[in-house]
Structure 1
């Protein structure tokens, strides 16, 4: 990508954000360049100046924007999963964000874009999941190193399980508008990190989200 002036970068970002908003609201397939020009107050020459290949270029830019937004929505909690209270704060942030966004979440927008663009969109989504898992894995490792969870825990396995719980719960939320799938799946996945404790009164194991 060529270097842009600050003004040019701001104009390009305004176009990307406007396109992302329309695609979340209406779906990528129904949004044309004229729609994007109208909502961003952009001329045709401006649009093609920043996106020479037209909608194909813009779709990739929107996909990168939405992928970055998925992670940005979880910060600063996602980048500092070093204690159980911080894990709980992150879990609550994830639930709150998806409960607010529902079918208009960035992850839903990325899923819609996947069927319309070239394989580069798939690579953007793979990169998103890799970065997301890396944050979660760093958190699991921090708990392990501080002795909060079992020393022998498989960090990659645990982080994959947690990320899958979010992705699966979010997919079911998008399909049904029910946040309970995400609440339960993420809660169980995070709770599964905790060492099991035996309740001597009933002889059963117990794990709790609260420290």
Structure 2
């Protein structure tokens, strides 16, 4: 069990997570050792195990959650404010730019692959990320439906799921080939499908 932390302790723990994330991005999860993380964060062995009693696996899980949060943070403020078509296009650019900068290395995917399936919360990290991502896209679609920019007959959650699936497919291809083409196509056609959804004309208009 992780210790209950004071504000100072929580800040120290976060500093270790941030430093570990940077080290893993530079070296990779497999190659990074606890000694590497200790050196980067100027942390003693006893201090490291105070905040992460489960050792490297517990720390990797914390870094995985950090990286999952970064995926969504990198899309803001656009993802949280999809209330106009310009906002949707700005979000599209933010997603493409994020993965362009990341390149073929996926820190979150690498971390999850290094965690034992028995690690509490290991599989939940990805599920929570995708659920939050889809929920924010769904909120954007519904906002546009309220403005009568998208047909109210469109299933917002299902449309968001399809768009997110396309993004994830594009990211997977990027990881394999280094090409952003499929990610850009998934976003462009996904948004175009929303834009093309017919909006009923009110009676008497």
Contact 1:63–1:113, Cα closer than 8 Å, also in 2:
yes
Describe the shift of the 1:35–1:147 C-alpha distance in structure 2 as closer, same or farther (beyond 3 A): same
After TM superposition, list the pairs within 5 Å mapping 1:198-209 onto structure 2.
Answer: none
Task: Show the counterpart of 2:37.
Answer: 36
Q: Does structure 1 conserve the Cα–Cα contact (< 8 Å) formed by 2:150 and 2:197?
A: no
- Residue matched to 1:16: 17
Q: Distance in 2 between matches of 1:2 and 1:76?
A: 33
After superposing the two structures, state which structure 1 stretch, 123-132 or 12-21, moved more: 12-21
Q: Deviations over 1:157-184 (max 9, x none)?
A: 1101111121111111122111222111
Deviations 1:52-71 (A, max 9, x none): 11111101111111111111
Give the TM-score normalised by the residue count of structure 1: 0.86
Structure 2's unaligned 5+ residue stretches are 199-205
CA distance in 2, matches of 1:64, 1:55: 14
Equivalent residue for 2:88? 87
Q: Which contiguous aligned blocks of 4+ residues in structure 1 show a shift greater than 6 angstroms?
A: none
Q: 2:115 maps to what in 1? A: 117
Q: What is the RMSD of the two structures over their aligned residues, measured on CA atoms?
A: 1.5
> Structure 2: how far apart are the matches of 1:68 and 1:62?
10
How many residues are matched?
Answer: 194
SS at match of 1:193: helix
Report if aligned partners of 1:60, 1:117 keep a CA contact under 8 Å in 2: yes
Task: Determine the structure 1 residue equivalent to 2:201.
Answer: none
- TM-score scaled by length of structure 2: 0.89
Q: Unaligned stretches of 5+ in structure 1?
A: 198-211
**Do the aligned residues in 1 keep the contact of 2:15 with 2:41 (CA within 8 Å)?**
yes
Contact 1:113 1:121 in 2 (8 A): no
